[in-house]
Homo-oligomer: A and B are copies of this chain.
Amino acid sequence: MPISPLAPAQFPDMPPIEGVKFATAAAGIRYRDRKDVLLALFNEGTTVAGVFTRSKCPSAPVDWCRAHLKGGSAATLVVNSGNANAFTGKHGREATRMTAQLVAAAVGCRTSEVFLASTGVIGEPLDASKFGEVIDQLVEGAAPAQWEQAASAIMTTDTFPKGAAAIARLGSTPVTICGIAKGAGMIAPDMATMLSFVFTDAPISKRLLQNVLSQGVIDTFNAVTVDGDTSTSDTLLAFATGAAAARGARKIANLSDPRLPALRKAFQAVLGNLAEQVARDGEGARKLIEIIVEGAVSKSSARKVALSIANSPLVKTAIAGEDANWGRVVMAVGKAGEPADRDRISIWFGGIRVAHKGEREPSYDESAVSAAMKKPEILLKVALGLGRGRDRVLTCDLTKEYVAINGDYRS
């Protein structure tokens, strides 16, 4: 699979996080000759928060993490690619339990402090003993800041590893936030899945870490769509080692802590960067599409309209064909079910207004619009003219390669 033309030029420079060590191994879960297991080890006192798929059919590891998040304390994270351990019934639950036991024994922690995520084929039993074969080597080899290797080990059909970093100041103490993600990749015969893990040395209570994470996804991971299909495995976990406390940062344990906004902003930057990379690696993507809806009756109404546009196959194929087809945008606005007045709608492609108040823009520069549509990044703005609600969603185009990736693997 060639690297997405929308990929960043290179994997970013990412500093180590005090209190986090990584190791990767080839456990042969599905792939040959590649790393398919990631181990992260955390120092004592690491807090954890998580956000998961809202699917009614979540994978066994999602159930596991949800159940153990209540404790709020993490010693280790184990992620495998190649098998999602989803729709595997009691065998799947058994596999997560066995994996956690194996890992807990090797690391020397409680099973409730082991967090798990799996991505890959679904409906296939996951052989937990595979972890047993590599766990000692992983624990022994763990070292700081193996970011690119870590991000690569969790890939399935991603075409590039995804990482992002930001620095925040807690008073005078700098803390670091680093994250990795895997995006919309497909493994025959499986679906797109999204996993992301974010790490920080900031000292913060599990309650506030959860607050930062839950608030942080709203305009980042929850504002990205590739094909409107929701994975059974979507998992975003945040781990805070608190190591910066030794450098003078008191623990953040109060929602009114004046240092919280800076941390929140840095978190948001990392999540937003990773989410954008997921859209940039959408299956078959050739265009990154940023959709801004303004003038809606509320932000949530703007979000629904933006998602209706972002998930419309007709809008996505038009952009793949480099056509500023605003008629399809009108269609997608109309079907969203949100307040809209046909005769007030205006639409811009690449900053050029193509429709105004319910009619074609009488005279716009067609050559300028055509030039804008040829770019790899397309800005599509819709003004509904009703209120002050505004929102932004990222997506990618729908190409023949998407169909090939998801339909041709057997032929």
Contact = CB atoms under 8 A, between A and B. Distances in A.
Nearest to A339: B56
B327 A191 contact: yes
Contacts of A330: 57, 86-87, 122-123, 232
A337 B56 CA distance: 7
A8 B323 CA distance: 34
Nearest to A358: B89
Contact of A334 (B56, B311, B312, B337): B56
A89 B342 CA distance: 8
A77 interface: no
A57 B87 contact: no
Contacts of A410: 321-323
Interface stretch (A142-150, A151-159, A272-280, A397-405): A397-405
Interface stretch (A24-32, A65-73, A160-168, A223-231): A223-231
Given A89-B357, A340-B56, A323 B228 contact: no
A334 B57 contact: yes
Contacts of A340: 56-57
B313 A229 contact: yes
A320 B411 CA distance: 10
Interface string A117-130: 00001111000000
What is the interface of chain A mostly: helix, strand, loop, or mixed?
Answer: loop
Interface in A334-363: 334-343, 345, 355, 357-360
A333 interface: yes
B398 A403 contact: yes
A189 interface: yes
Contact of A232 (B53, B57, B232, B334): B334
Interface string A173-198: 00000000000001011111000000
Range for the number of chain A residues in contact with chain B = 35 or more
Nearest to A189: B325
Max chain B Cβ within 10 angstroms of own Cβ: one of A186, A335, A338, A409:
A335
Contact of A320 (B121, B230, B318, B407): B407
A408 interface: yes
B229 A312 contact: yes
Nearest to A187: B327
Contacts of A328: 189-191, 229
Interface of A: 53-58, 86-89, 91, 121-124, 186, 188-192, 227-232, 311-314, 317-318, 320-323, 325-328, 330-343, 345, 355, 357-360, 397-400, 402-404, 406-411
14 contacts: A57-B340, A57-B345, A86-B330, A122-B330, A122-B331, A123-B327, A191-B327, A191-B328, A229-B312, A232-B331, A313-B313, A317-B403, A398-B403, A399-B403
Going nearest first, the 5 A-B pairs with the smallest beta carbon separation are: A55-B334, A57-B334, A321-B407, A230-B335, A317-B406
